[in-house]
Amino acid sequence: MKQKPIPDLDLALAASTFAALGSEQRLAVLRTLVRAGPEGLRIGELGERAGVTGSTLTHHMKILSQAGLVRQEKQGRSILCAAVAYDELHALADFLLRECCADRDHCAHEDTKDHDHG
């Protein structure tokens, strides 16, 4: 089979997003926000749940925010944090699996796909 090149923009965007997720603590923060749902969490509660606090949490939130994965919104004296990029996270997973077994005649993944989800 002829391999189709991945568009440079897709590759650059995926690499940038994966770089933002390239930290155990950032993954913990994002996962905590995803678990909290669209309403998000106050920064203090986020820190407690994720096990990341203070300037370290601020640093990680800045990187995740710049990658477009989370938002921070000041509400009175509190900062509310929420994951906002659910579609982008799905797209990132799809990016990894989009060409699964593209260079093979048969894909074992296809055989197990129906059994895993049904």
| Annotated domain spans of the chain | 8-97
The residue among 6, 24, 2 whose CA lies nearest residue 15 is 6
Given pLDDT bands bounded at 50, 70 and 90, which one contains residue 115? very low
Give the model's pLDDT for residue 108.
66
Give the model's pLDDT for residue 7.
55
Measuring CA to CA, how many Å separate 55 from each of 59, 60, 61, 84? 6, 9, 10, 22
Residue 23 has pLDDT above 90, yes or no: yes
Give the model's pLDDT for residue 87.
83
pLDDT one-digit tens code per residue, 100-114: 777 777 776 565 555
Q: Which residues fall within 8 angstroms of residue 9, CB to CB, at 6 or more apart? A: none
Distance between CA atoms of residues 90 and 38, nearest Å: 15
Give the model's pLDDT for residue 91.
81
Average pLDDT over residues 2-11: 56
The fold for domain 8-97 equals Arc Repressor Mutant, subunit A (1.10.10)
pLDDT one-digit tens code per residue, 50-103: 999 999 999 999 999 998 899 999 999 999 999 988 888 888 888 777 777 777
Give me the residue label for tokens 């509190």: 78
